């Protein structure tokens, strides 16, 4: 039997993406950039995964705003070449973008409501 002359490739540690790549992209709208900065500052998001989720939420926000502008310009319903009424394709983009924002914010697990520090039942009647 011949001995194999091949050598195994050496394992190298996986390179983690730099934190700068996870920061909100320059292609974001001013509204999305401001929202990203506010989220990062207010909730002290500094880990790579959290920054990626913020970026995804902001990209979804921009996509939603663009779809809303198209719907505003063209209308939610249009007639196709046969005269049949159809839903504007941007309606689906808006819906999916809204869902993307909600999922990204849910994944961030932000503590949005302040904790109830009072003991006993809440004040009422």
* pLDDT tens, position by position, 25-79: 569 999 999 999 999 999 999 999 999 999 999 999 999 999 999 999 999 999 9
Q: Please report, for the chain, the start and end positions of each structural domain, with discontinuous segments joined by +.
A: 26-107
What is the pLDDT at residue 14? 47
- pLDDT above 80: residue 123: no
pTM for this prediction = 0.70
What is the pLDDT at residue 111? 73
13 vs 42, higher pLDDT: 42
Give pLDDT tens digits for 93-111. 999 999 999 999 999 998 7
Question: Which residue in this structure is represented by tokens 């039942």?
Answer: 121
Q: How far is CA 70 from CA 38, 48, 66, 96, 102, in A?
A: 27, 33, 6, 15, 22
Termini Cα distance of the chain: 90
- d(CA 18, CA 13) in angstroms, rounded, equals 15
3-state SS assignment for residue 66 = helix
């Amino acid at each position: 039997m011949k001995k194999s002359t091949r050598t195994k490739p050496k394992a190298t540690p996986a390179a983690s993406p730099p934190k700068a790549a996870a920061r909100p992209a320059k292609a974001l709208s001013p509204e999305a950039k401001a929202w990203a900065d506010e989220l990062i500052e207010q909730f002290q998001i500094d880990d790579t995964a959290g920054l990626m989720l913020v970026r995804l939420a902001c990209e979804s926000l921009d996509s939603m705003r663009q779809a809303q502008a198209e719907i505003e310009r063209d209308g939610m319903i249009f007639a196709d070449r046969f005269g049949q009424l159809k839903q504007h394709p941007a309606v689906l983009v808006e819906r999916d973008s809204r869902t993307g924002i909600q999922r990204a914010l849910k994944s961030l697990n932000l503590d949005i409501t302040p904790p109830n520090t009072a003991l006993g039942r809440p004040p009422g009647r």
